[in-house]
Amino acid sequence: MIMDEKDEHVEGGMLIDWDLSKPIPDKSTATRRYARTVSQVSEALYLRVHCPHVCCHQGTWLFMAGDLVRNLDIPQNVEHDIESAFWVVFWIMLSYLQTNLSVGDRSCYLMNTMNPGVFGGTSVSKALFMASPIALDELETPSSPLANLLKDMHNTLGKRYRVSKKDKNSIFVTEGSTQQDNVVQDQHEPILYFLRTVLEDSPWPKDDRASLQEVCLTPYCPPSV
């Protein structure tokens, strides 16, 4: 949540709603999938915001990392949480900020890319979006630092998707330190760097307050007047 109070412990924002979190007893153990709390429901948060008459009160699926929604067996880890931060900001941008994206593009991102089918079928779409180096090429917003930050985050977070399993198992990779591990470890710093730079140096617009953007729930519904 955004904090208005000025307090050194409260800078910027706070993390709340810990009610589905769980402790990881051993530092080396990531949370295991079978114990994950997110229910496998494809109800979507965008419905709640854009279409409050549609029953919906579960939206975590939208913000889960591409490989987690694709594969039931991989453990959740810090890199997934960092990717979730990207998805949250991307969702807010799609839902509340003006961009050069059309209603169709926005709707497609919210309904398909971010909300793929559960485990299998279309579930690869999120991972493909992360892996694609050109996915956000066309994105423009009046707040150019935001667009740049999203592109930088997308590019950095996408790296681990571009290392295919084939490479990982290749005989040229030495055991114990896979290429993928290195990519993961290198994620945090560059993103922090982008963030610091973009917050300190860039000219941010002052008045681009949240305004709900139009989306189309099905590809066939007529555009509202």
Q: Which residues bind another protein (CB under 8 A)?
A: 1-5, 9-23, 35, 37, 48-49, 52-53, 55-57, 81-82, 85, 88-89, 92-93, 95-97, 141, 143, 145-146, 149, 188, 191-192, 195-196, 198-199, 204-210
Q: Looking at beta carbons only, is 101 or 125 nearer to another protein?
A: 101
Q: Looking at beta carbons only, is 162 or 188 nearer to another protein?
A: 188
**Least distance in angstroms from the C-beta of 144 to another protein:** 10
**Least distance in angstroms from the C-beta of 170 to another protein:** 32
Q: Looking at beta carbons only, is 92 or 103 nearer to another protein?
A: 92
- Counting every residue, how long is the chain? 225
**Least distance in angstroms from the C-beta of 202 to another protein:** 9
**Least distance in angstroms from the C-beta of 180 to another protein:** 21
